[in-house]
Structure 1
Amino acid sequence: MGSLVGAVQPNDSLCTTLVADGPTQITPDCVDPIYQSPIYTNHSDETSPLKHRKVSGYFNATGIEFNIYMPYHGWEGRFFQMVFPTQTSVASAGEIGFGAEAGGYTVHVAGTGGYRADAAVAKLSREIAREFYQQPSRKIYGYIYGGSGGFFKTVGAMENTVSVWDGSVPLIQGIPISDPTGCSIASLGGLVLGNQSRELQDAVRPGSNIDPRDILNPVQRAVWDEVTALGVPPAVWEDFDGTGRNRSQVYELLRAAAVSLKSIDPTYADDFWSQPGYLGTEKSELGHLFRSSLVEFNATVLQVNRNAQSTPVDIMLNASPSAAPRRNWYDFTIQSQCSGVKKGGTFTGHMDPGSGKVIIYSDNNSTILNCLEKGVKVRVDNRWYLALHTFHRHEIPTGEGYYAFDYLRNEDGKSRYPQRSVLAARTFAQSASGGGTNTGNITGKMIVMDNLMDNKAFPWEADWYRTRVKKYLGDQFNNQYRLYYSDNADHEMGPVEPAVKYRLIDFTGLFEQHLRDLSAWVEQGIEPPLATKYKIQNGQVEVPESASERGGIQPVAHLKVQNGTRAEVQVGSPVTLQAFIEVPRDVGKIVSLEWDVYGNASFVPMDFGTPSTIVNVNVTHTYKTPGVYIPSVRVASHRYGEMGSSYFLAYNLGRARVVVK
Structure 2
Amino acid sequence: MRQASLDVCRILCQRPIAVGREDKISFAFSSGAYFVETNGGGPGFATPAADPTISGFRANAAAADYSRILAAGVYGAHRPFGYAYSGSGGGFRTIGGAENTTGVWDGFVPYVIATPVAMPNVFSVRMHAQRVLREKFDIIDDAYDADGTGCPFPALTPEERDALTEVTRMGFPPRSWFGHRTMGSHAFSALYGGLAAMDADYFSNFWTTEGYLGADPGSSIHQSRLQWTAQVAEVVYEELPDERVLSRGGVDQAFRGAEQAARRFIAVRLS
Q: TM-score, normalised by structure 2?
A: 0.71
Q: CA deviation at 1:207?
A: 3.2
Deviations 1:558-609 (A, max 9, x none): xxxxxxxxxxxxxxxxxxxxxxxxxxxxxxxxxxxxxxxxxxxxxxxxxxxx
| Counterpart pick for 1:313 among 236, 246, 252 | 236
* 8 Å contact from structure 2 (residues 133, 160) kept in 1: yes
Distance in 1 (CA, whole Å) between partners of 2:114 and 2:189 is 19
| Counterpart pick for 2:37 among 85, 89, 108 | 108
* Pairs within 5 Å for 1:314-333: none
* 8 Å contact from structure 1 (residues 115, 153) kept in 2: yes
Q: CA deviation at 1:180?
A: 2.2
* 8 Å contact from structure 1 (residues 204, 238) kept in 2: no
Q: In structure 1, the residue corresponding to 2:93 is in which secondary structure? A: helix
* Pairs within 5 Å for 1:267-346: 267-284=201-218, 287=219, 289-300=220-231, 304=234, 312-313=235-236
What is the CA RMSD across the aligned residues, in angstroms?
2.9
Q: CA deviation at 1:93?
A: 7.2
Q: Which amino acid aligns with 1:191?
A: R
Q: Which amino acid aligns with 2:236?
A: V
Q: Which amino acid aligns with 1:292?
A: Q
Q: Does 1:205 align with 2:145?
A: yes
Match of 1:222 in 2: 162
Distance in 2 (CA, whole Å) between partners of 1:274 and 1:213 is 31
- Relative distance call for 1:202 and 1:160 in structure 2 (3 A) is same
Q: In structure 1, the residue corresponding to 2:104 is in which secondary structure? A: coil
Match of 2:26 in 1: 97
Q: Which amino acid aligns with 2:70?
A: I
* Pairs within 5 Å for 1:67-146: 94-112=23-41, 113-134=55-76, 136=77, 138-146=78-86
Q: TM-score, normalised by structure 1?
A: 0.31
Stretches of structure 1 lacking an aligned partner (at least 5 in a row): 2-40, 42-47, 50-91, 305-311, 315-360, 379-661
- Relative distance call for 1:272 and 1:126 in structure 2 (3 A) is same
Larger Rg: 1
Q: In structure 1, the residue corresponding to 2:28 is in which secondary structure? A: helix
Match of 1:257 in 2: 191
Distance in 1 (CA, whole Å) between partners of 2:100 and 2:265 is 34
Q: Which amino acid aligns with 1:95?
A: K
Give aligned-pair identity as a percent.
31
Distance in 2 (CA, whole Å) between partners of 1:111 and 1:233 is 32
* 8 Å contact from structure 1 (residues 143, 167) kept in 2: yes
* 8 Å contact from structure 1 (residues 154, 170) kept in 2: yes
Q: CA deviation at 1:257?
A: 2.5
- Relative distance call for 1:123 and 1:240 in structure 2 (3 A) is same
Q: Which amino acid aligns with 2:131?
A: L
Q: CA deviation at 1:240?
A: 1.7
Distance in 1 (CA, whole Å) between partners of 2:210 and 2:156 is 27
* 8 Å contact from structure 1 (residues 189, 227) kept in 2: yes
- Relative distance call for 1:131 and 1:203 in structure 2 (3 A) is same
Distance in 1 (CA, whole Å) between partners of 2:97 and 2:182 is 31
Q: In structure 2, the residue corresponding to 1:174 is in which secondary structure? A: coil
Q: CA deviation at 1:199?
A: 0.8
* Pairs within 5 Å for 1:7-18: none
Q: Which amino acid aligns with 1:229?
A: R
Deviations 1:201-255 (A, max 9, x none): 1112233224122221111111111111111111111212244xx2xxx1x6333
Q: In structure 1, the residue corresponding to 2:119 is in which secondary structure? A: helix
- Relative distance call for 1:93 and 1:253 in structure 2 (3 A) is closer
Match of 1:362 in 2: 265
Deviations 1:430-461 (A, max 9, x none): xxxxxxxxxxxxxxxxxxxxxxxxxxxxxxxx
